[in-house]
Structure 1
């Protein structure tokens, strides 16, 4: 389905992504991990064509995505939806209208100017919100929702595009553990029930292991690991993050139980001092 070939992105004399290559032969849920500045976000932005590649190629079902321009490029961006860490919603607009923005690439300029939507699109938007457990939020302003609810609205907007691929750039980085779990479970269900490919940049190892079929590790712009969650050992993770022997996965955990245990151990240590 997706074949990334020696994909490279340079900004001046800095190489953000360095000859990244991987192939995906069927819809999977893939997690990309690595420390800040490893090139994860730049890689996703090239896949979506928000950024042009400096070198290399992206093939999807045999078509060269890196060669697309104009309307064909916008059409690809509809098939390859993007979800961002900061949600990118219109704060003062109601939730259902934010979701309907997922149809902008296939609507006329006239309809967009006057905010006119077909009745079937409105019904579909509400159905998607219901699927994500937030249909009752449809008439509210987006800014009135919690962070977890806003991220689910962003997921709903992506689903309105009916994409083949969903790219999620640190979708839970700004969420508390409970909302992070809800968002990741929603993405996993979308992958399993719809047969869509999901590629998510993640900042925690436990999340990658729990929800993903495959994990790609990046360091200094290069792919240094590509394997199953079971192969993502602490030693491998230490190499991906360039960390020393003191590297602790608990410090990056989103599991509520792990966080509680970590806080308990810290409290005990302080009591002994």
Structure 2
């Protein structure tokens, strides 16, 4: 389905994504882990065409996604929905209207300016919110919701695009453990029930192991690990994060049970 070959993105002399080759043959939930600056976000932005690759190729279902322009590129961005760490909602707009923004790519300019939506789209938006457990928030302003609720609104907006791939860039980085768990369970359920590919940038090992079918580790723009959650040992994690022997997984945890346990030695990376 998805094939990246020697994909590279440079900013000046620095390669933020450096010669990355990945092949995904079927819909999976994939976690990309690594410390800040490893190239995780840049990789997703290149896939979504929010940033242009410097070298290499990227194909989805045999289509060259890096060569798309104009309408074809916008259609790809509908097929490849993006969820951001900071939600990117319109704070003073009601929740259901934020979700309906997921249809903008297929609406006319006049309909967009007049803020006109078909009843079928409105019903679909509410159904998606209900699926994510927040239908009762539909008439409220987005700014009135908690962080976890806002992220679920962002997921609902992505689902309104009916995408083939969902790219989630640090979707739980600014959330407390309880809300982080709800958001990750929502993304996992979307993969399981809809058969959509989900690629999720994460900071925490326990989250990657619990929710993902495959884990990719990046360091300095390169892929240094690509395997199953079971293969993600503490030793492998040290290499991904560039940490020494004092590395502690507990210090990177978002699991409530782990956080309630006695504190371990903090991460030095």
Length-normalised TM-score, structure 1: 0.96
Residues 211-246 of structure 1: per-residue CA shift (max 9 Å, x gap):
000000000000000000000000000000010000
Which consecutive aligned stretches of 4+ in structure 1 deviate over 3 angstroms post-superposition?
Answer: none
Q: How does 1:26-37 map to 2 (within 5 A)?
A: 26-37=26-37
Shift in Å, 1:262: 3.2
Partner of 1:176: 176
Partner of 1:270: none
Shift in Å, 1:13: 1.1
Q: How does 1:1-273 map to 2 (within 5 A)?
A: 1-263=1-263
Q: Distance in 2 between matches of 1:122 and 1:221?
A: 41
Residues 94-122 of structure 1: per-residue CA shift (max 9 Å, x gap):
00000000000000000000000000000
Q: Distance in 2 between matches of 1:29 and 1:257?
A: 23
Shift in Å, 1:14: 1.0
The aligned length equals 265
Q: Distance in 1 between matches of 2:138 and 2:185?
A: 21
Shift in Å, 1:208: 0.1
Q: Distance in 2 between matches of 1:19 and 1:165?
A: 22
Q: Distance in 1 between matches of 2:18 and 2:40?
A: 11
Q: Distance in 1 between matches of 2:136 and 2:72?
A: 36
SS in 2 for 1:124: helix
Q: Distance in 2 between matches of 1:123 and 1:262?
A: 47
Residues 102-161 of structure 1: per-residue CA shift (max 9 Å, x gap):
000000000000000000000000000000000000000000000000000000000000
Contact kept? 1:6, 1:55, Cα under 8 Å: yes
Q: Distance in 1 between matches of 2:238 and 2:111?
A: 52
Show structure 1 runs of 5+ residues with no match. 267-273
Residues 11-70 of structure 1: per-residue CA shift (max 9 Å, x gap):
011110001010000000000000000000000000101001000011000010000011
Q: Distance in 1 between matches of 2:42 and 2:230?
A: 26
Length-normalised TM-score, structure 2: 0.98
Contact kept? 1:215, 1:227, Cα under 8 Å: yes
SS in 2 for 1:261: coil
Provide the aligned C-alpha RMSD in A.
Answer: 0.8
Q: Distance in 2 between matches of 1:262 and 1:247?
A: 16
Q: Distance in 2 between matches of 1:261 and 1:58?
A: 43
SS in 1 for 2:139: coil
Q: Distance in 2 between matches of 1:160 and 1:4?
A: 26
Q: Distance in 2 between matches of 1:123 and 1:90?
A: 20
Partner of 1:271: none
SS in 1 for 2:243: coil
Contact kept? 1:250, 1:262, Cα under 8 Å: no
Q: Distance in 2 between matches of 1:108 and 1:140?
A: 26
SS in 2 for 1:58: strand
Q: Distance in 2 between matches of 1:138 and 1:58?
A: 37
